[in-house]
Amino acid sequence: MVTDIVIYKEVQMAGSADKHTNSSLRSILQTGGISEESFQNIYPNILSTNYDIIRIILIAGYSLFLFLIAIALIFAKTTEYIPVYISLFIILVLAHIVIKQLFQKYPKVVSYTWYLCAIIIYGYAIYMGTFLDPLMLGTVFCVLLVALPMLIIDRPYRTIIVLSAASIVFILCTFIAKSSDIAITDTVNVISFYVLALFINVRMTVIRIRELEQRLFIEHQRNTDYLTGLLTKSAFQDMAMQKAKEQFASGFFIIIDLDNFKRVNDLYGHDVGDNVIKQTADCIDECFGASALKSRFGGDEFMVFLSDTSETELEDKIHKFLLRVPLDTTLPNRNDIIYCSIGITNVKVGEFDYATVFKQADTALYHSKRNGRNQSCHYTEDMHILMNSNV
């Protein structure tokens, strides 16, 4: 079936969650209890969510240290903390600048940034709870042990590694810096909070990952034509407008219409008609490729948006499609053959207007049908007189 249906099957949860959800401990630790394929599908959503969270953390973090620096300057008794506050402030500001610049090109930098922030925060909590004040219990560290991992969505085993390393370092430091009584108390507290953190955060991560999977499934249902697996008209319009903002050498907006399709429904019924629609969608998906945006926006009408495609490549795709449709669509009477008419218009970088290119392609489609059907027609400026009468 078409590519979108493959994606649909990968993210589908309702009615078939057991097929791709493995509740084993290994699966929970690696992917939150879902299949690796499903995890990869929601991974861009995970990165986007984490990016928003990390931005908020970084802004709040360096704002806090800026406030602490001001407080330290006002109250002379706390000036010994100023170098630490300034260092952390600079690190967080730089981290914010770097992640903002890199996220668009390298989305995975989000995960590395979070772990960097976690190391900084846990490191400061360890320093503050041990060497800075040997008489103070590690309450702040224990709270962060539970709370900090809640601010990220990632493979659970990675969070466990961070929590384990931070806990071990804190216990070692507390025995070095503190008396044995306080160190033992801190150790018991850290171990208790460590176990609590593992349970809460693994459970929360599993829930959030499955919520993202369910959200993606619902979004896919909303954006997908139930019969063909192609995009709906509204989803196609949104994605085409977004794609048109990207830089590409040349692009084409295409409308495809089945010739005399009403006759198929009248003679053979809607079940046969639906089968012809699905077979045509398969041809569109195969002939125009996975990189093209493809939509069914009417009973027997389809749209395709191609970017970074030359005129020669376009002609090859159109020629292949017009040959394949009569061969791949089947009707009870083999003498009846399905043909298509196609309207095409060029899309220029920075000049994409959906309503305009739709009218142009629709006008070209009208000319294609008027000139004998089973052919394609490119929009030209001299067709503009017919535009308003065809839409």
pLDDT tens per residue across span 208-262: 999 999 998 888 888 999 899 999 999 999 888 888 776 665 689 999 999 989 8
Give 23's pLDDT tier (boundaries 50, 70, 90): low
Between 177 and 2, where is the model more confident?
177
pLDDT surpassing 60 at residue 6: no
Please report the pLDDT score of residue 11 as a whole number: 42
DSSP 71: H
CATH for the stretch 233-390:
3.30.70.270
Task: Give residue for tokens 């493809």.
Answer: 294
pTM of the model: 0.67
Of 16-20, 90-94, 125-129, the poorest mean pLDDT is in 16-20
Report the C-alpha gap between 268 and 356 in whole angstroms. Answer: 37
Please report the pLDDT score of residue 137 as a whole number: 86
Give 14's pLDDT tier (boundaries 50, 70, 90): very low
Q: What is the mean pLDDT of the chain?
A: 85
DSSP 377: E
Give 1's pLDDT tier (boundaries 50, 70, 90): very low
Please report the pLDDT score of residue 217 as a whole number: 87
Please report the pLDDT score of residue 310 as a whole number: 85
Q: Is 297 helix (H, G, I), strand (E, B) or coil?
A: coil
Report the C-alpha gap between 79 and 69 in whole angstroms. Answer: 8
Once rounded to an integer, what is the mean pLDDT over residues 136-158?
A: 91
Once rounded to an integer, what is the mean pLDDT over residues 145-150?
A: 92
Q: Where are the alpha helices (DSSP H) in the chain?
A: 3-11, 17-20, 25-31, 36-74, 82-102, 109-129, 139-147, 156-177, 180-223, 233-243, 261-268, 270-288, 311-328, 354-370, 384-390
Please report the pLDDT score of residue 95 as a whole number: 78
pLDDT surpassing 60 at residue 5: no
Q: Which two tokens stand for residue 81?
A: 């903390």
Please report the pLDDT score of residue 20 as a whole number: 43
CB contact set of 45 (below 8 Å; sequence gap of 6+): 212, 215, 216
Of 180-189, 240-249, 326-335, 365-374, the poorest mean pLDDT is in 240-249
Please report the pLDDT score of residue 54 as a whole number: 80
pLDDT surpassing 70 at residue 157: yes
For residue 250, the one-letter residue type is S
pLDDT surpassing 60 at residue 56: yes
Angle at CA of residue 48, ends 43 and 54, nearest 5°: 120
pLDDT per position as a tens digit, 335-365: 888 999 999 999 876 677 888 899 999 999 9
Report the C-alpha gap between 144 and 138 in whole angstroms. Answer: 10
Please report the pLDDT score of residue 92 as a whole number: 82
Please report the pLDDT score of residue 391 as a whole number: 47
Please report the pLDDT score of residue 247 as a whole number: 60
Please report the pLDDT score of residue 211 as a whole number: 92
Q: Where in the chain is the domain with CATH 3.30.70.270?
A: 233-390
Which pairs count as long-range contacts for 61-70, CB under 8 Å and 24+ apart, including other chains?
Answer: 61/88, 61/92, 61/117, 61/121, 62/88, 62/89, 62/92, 62/93, 62/96, 65/89, 65/92
Once rounded to an integer, what is the mean pLDDT over residues 105-111?
A: 81
pLDDT per position as a tens digit, 287-318: 998 889 999 988 899 999 998 788 899 999 99
